[in-house]
Each structure stands twice: as structure tokens, then as C-alpha cells.
Amino acid sequence: MTKLKTSLIWLAALSLIIQVAHAALPSNWFSNNGEMPTLAPMIDQSKPAVVNIATQSHIRIQDNPLMNDPFFRRFFNIPQQPRHRTRQSLGSGVIFDAKKGLVLTNSHVIQRADEITVSLTDGRSFQAELVGSDPATDVALIKIPAESLTALPLADSDKLRVGDFVVAIGNPFGLGQTVTSGIVSALGRSGLGIEGYENFIQTDASINPGNSGGALLNLRGELVGINTAIFSPGQRAGAGNIGIGFAIPSNMVKQISDQLIEYGEVKRAYLGVQMQDINDELASAFNIPPGQGAVITSIQKDSAADKAGLEIGDVIVTVDGQKLSNADSLRNTVGLLMVGQTIKMDILRNGKQKTVKATVKEVQKQAQQGPIHPKLAGASFGNIEPGSRYYGKINGVAIYDVKRNSPAWNAGLRTNDIITSVNKVRVNSLDDFKSHVQTTGTLLFNLTRNRQAMFLILR
């Protein structure tokens, strides 16, 4: 074969590849003259729907008794210390409903914020009010009094495939609106310990601090996810992107936002079981293949599972036809169901397959609303709920809610804190907690907040 023939074959092949690529890509990939592939038209259309969010929180500083002593301060020439400090943070958001001014973001972006400022690409800024927040999935919804907004259309995230091109838009490091691109690296990521319910899209589109709450788009400019977290070696504070970022799928965001709009919170469904992963030893003991489903270790009386006839030792294999790989996948599946929904489960019992149906109930909060202690006024306490990321992992008492500027708020307590000990005595339940705070003196709490343990003194 001559060199000329070889060159002609290569040119023909290259021309065919270009034609196939042109047909496969969306029309807005190419500029008007067709010479240069670009995402600019899609980006220009989508950018007005992504906003910057700035928050301010006023945090009470724990008092040192010596600092309150005028003689001590005068003797050592120490000025009066401030009792509060202001904390500021930055994040991103996505306009969800243009007519109503609804903006999606992450729960951790606006958590404990006293002021929320939303800045649009056209230069306008608005003070936002909180519609509702769900820390278990890290989704929050805020509202701004603005007109002439642009909202992003929602995509069906269940149709995403590994390898699909995606674009991230957000406010990294407070630089202002920034666009990065990549692909979907993996789907259904869970068990990371980032949130209570996890079903993340993993992407290599650069996501950095400040991108939280921003948009993950497909090439049609549709919202496929809300950027929420990054993975960095050692999880160092302030560490940047290394190509592993996570986003909450748009279908999950839609489920949560619908409930936040209707109730201001998520009414979480509950099956009433505790589960354990199937390892090789358990698989051998139950005579089932390894890595299949999860085994029931306990059942709450009068729960949906109890009424459905489930038993300890049953292995749940599928829910509504979806295979379960571990205990977390069952918890995620049930926790995102609507209260009152009936599900069909395939189980293995004594080596035999069986199908059962269960109608999931709402988690019933048994909160202590009354004043347990004068310093705790304004807060409601209860046992750790099944929907909490800490359920079955630590013992303690959960703080369901704290009213702003109440004694409990000013003491430093916050919603979703888990109190594990009082005055160095461990607490395992709400009754334990109530019995140990019946004192007029100082209270020393050991608590867990955002997976970090800390001490808090209430004087």
C-alpha cells in the first residue's frame, strides 16, 4: 500500500470520527460558526441560576471566671474580653423555583447562621430566610424576595451513567462564580460517613471549599446534583480538590425539597430494624452467597417490620426490586421513602426465599420540651432517632431543636448536637440525661457535633 493510499484512509477515518462525535454531542457544544467546540452557550444560560451565599453567626465565648473578676483584670491590666465573636462562611446555592424565590443549598452552608446573604450574578443581593433544612442528607432550602430569577431544570439523576460529562458551578474559596468540568466517576457512593443518608454522585470536576451547595450540570444545562463534599488525604481542613468530589443526586434533592416546602422538615420513614452487613463468616453461617443483602439483628416492637412479620436473622436481599449490597443501602432506601409508603422486600429465612410487604411509618420523636434546667431553656431533647447518622453507633441524647437567643442557644448548644456525658457521667437515654442535670451548679457536657467531640461548660 502506497503512502498516498494510507494517508487517504487515515483522513477518511478521521472525517468519520468527527462526524460521529458531532452527531453525538449536544447542539450547544459547537459555536455558531461550527469551528470550535465550546460549552459557553450552556454555561451562559445556566450561570444566572447559581448564586453565592455568605453567612454570619454570632458565637458566645465561654467565660473564664477570672476574666469576670474586676480586681484580677485591673491587677494584670487585662481589658474586658468580648462575650461574642462573629463567624463568617461562604458557599453556593441553586435557584430551584424562580417564581417563589426558592434556593437550594447544603444544610452545612447555612447551619447555625444568624444572617444569610444571597448574591446573584447580576449584582443584586438579598437577605434570605430559612424554609427548612435536613442535616441527615445535607439539603437546605432558603427563600429570597427577588423577581426576574432564573431557575435550573432538574434532570433525572437515575439516568446518569459513569462516564457522562458534567460541569460544576460554584464559589470556590470566595473567588466568585467559577466553572469546572469533568465526568461522572462513580454512582451510588455510600458508607463514607459524610452524611446520615448517602447516595452520592462521584465526579472529578473540581470541587473546592465554597463550592458546597453549587450546581452539578449535564451538558444540556440540567441540574443532576448539588455539590456537597470533597475527599482529601487526611481530610485536612481547607484541603483542596484532588479529583474526588461528591454531589447529592437531583432525584434525592427533589424528594427532600418537596417535604421541606410542605412541612419545613423531613418526615422520615422508619422500618423498625437494626441491620448488620453480611461478611464471609455470616454468609457461611446463613448458607447464602457473600456480599448479598443485610441481616436483621433487632426489631422494634409494633414497628412496620414487626407488623410485616420480619424476624431476627432474616436477610433482606431486595427492596422493590432493588438489590441491597449492605445495611447502609437499606437504611438509605427506607429513609428516603414517603411516610405511609408500602414496600416489597425479598428475604432469605433459613435458606429459603420469601417476599413480605411493609408499610413504613414516621419516626416518632419523644422529645422533652419542658424546662429540664434553667440553663437549657429553649432546647428540646430526645433519644437518638433511627434517621440520625449516630443511631446505633454512639449512646447519648440528641438535641432536636434550639431556639435562637434562648439560654440554651447562648450557652452554645445547637440543633443535632449529641450529648454523651453530663459532669463526666455517661448518659444513654433521655431519662438518664434528665436525672443528671438536676443541679443548680455548673454543667459540663461532652458532646458530638459534626462527627467531632468537644466539651461545653454551662455556668
110 and 87 share a domain? yes
257 and 276 share a domain? no
More confident residue, 158 or 239: 158
User: Does residue 41 lie in a domain region?
Assistant: no
Say whether pLDDT at 221 is over 60. yes
| pLDDT of amino acid 236 | 44
User: Does residue 242 lie in a domain region?
Assistant: yes
Say whether pLDDT at 253 is over 80. yes
User: Does residue 122 lie in a domain region?
Assistant: yes
| pLDDT of amino acid 399 | 85
Length of the chain: 459
Kindly report which listed range (39-53, 57-71, 137-151) carries the lowest average pLDDT score. 57-71
User: 43 Cβ partners below 8 Å, 6+ apart?
Assistant: 167, 169, 179
**Residue 313 C-alpha from the chain's centroid:** 31
For residue 398, the cross-strand partners are 382, 418
pLDDT confidence tier of residue 231, bands split at 50, 70 and 90: confident
**pLDDT tens digits for range 406-453:** 888 888 888 788 899 888 888 888 888 888 887 667 888 888 887 778
Supply the mean pLDDT for the chain.
79
Of residues 107, 108, 133, 421, which has the active-site annotation?
A: 108
134 and 195 share a domain? no
Collapsed DSSP state (helix, strand, coil) of residue 224: strand
Are the C-beta atoms of residues 380 and 430 closer than 8 Å to each other? no
Of 362, 393, 412, which marks where a domain is finished?
Answer: 362
pLDDT confidence tier of residue 95, bands split at 50, 70 and 90: very high
Provide the domain limits for residue 380: 374-458
User: Does residue 125 lie in a domain region?
Assistant: yes
316 and 237 share a domain? no
The percentage of the chain sitting over the pLDDT mark of 70, rounded to a whole number, equals 78
More confident residue, 418 or 24: 418
| pLDDT of amino acid 166 | 94
Of residues 133, 134, 138, 303, which has the active-site annotation?
A: 138
Tell me the residue type at 244.
I
- Longest Cα–Cα distance of the chain, Å, equals 101
Residue with cell 451513567: 161
Cα–Cα distances in angstroms (integers) from residue 70 to residues 61, 76, 78, 80, 85, in the given order: 18, 10, 9, 9, 22
User: Does residue 148 lie in a domain region?
Assistant: no
Are the C-beta atoms of residues 209 and 231 closer than 8 Å to each other? no
Helices (H), 25-99: 40-46, 70-75
Of 218, 243, 263, which marks where a domain is finished?
Answer: 263
- Structural domain count of the chain: 4
| pLDDT of amino acid 238 | 46
- CATH assignment at residue 414: 2.30.42.10
Which stretch, 90-104, 370-384, 416-430, has highest mean pLDDT? 90-104
Of residues 157, 212, 303, 421, which has the active-site annotation?
A: 212
The percentage of the chain sitting over the pLDDT mark of 90, rounded to a whole number, equals 19
86 and 107 share a domain? yes
| DSSP type of residue 233 | G
Active site residue 108: yes
User: Does residue 8 lie in a domain region?
Assistant: no
Name the pTM for this structure. Answer: 0.69
* Mean per-residue pLDDT, 64-84: 57
105 and 125 share a domain? yes
User: Does residue 292 lie in a domain region?
Assistant: yes
| pLDDT of amino acid 368 | 55
Of 236, 263, 290, which marks where a domain is finished?
Answer: 263
User: Does residue 14 lie in a domain region?
Assistant: no
Active site residue 212: yes
Q: Which of 248, 243, 229, 255 is nearest to 91 (CA)?
A: 229
More confident residue, 323 or 219: 219
Active site residue 406: no
Are the C-beta atoms of residues 458 and 443 closer than 8 Å to each other? yes
* Mean per-residue pLDDT, 195-220: 86
- CATH assignment at residue 184: 2.40.10.10
382 and 446 share a domain? yes
* Mean per-residue pLDDT, 118-123: 90
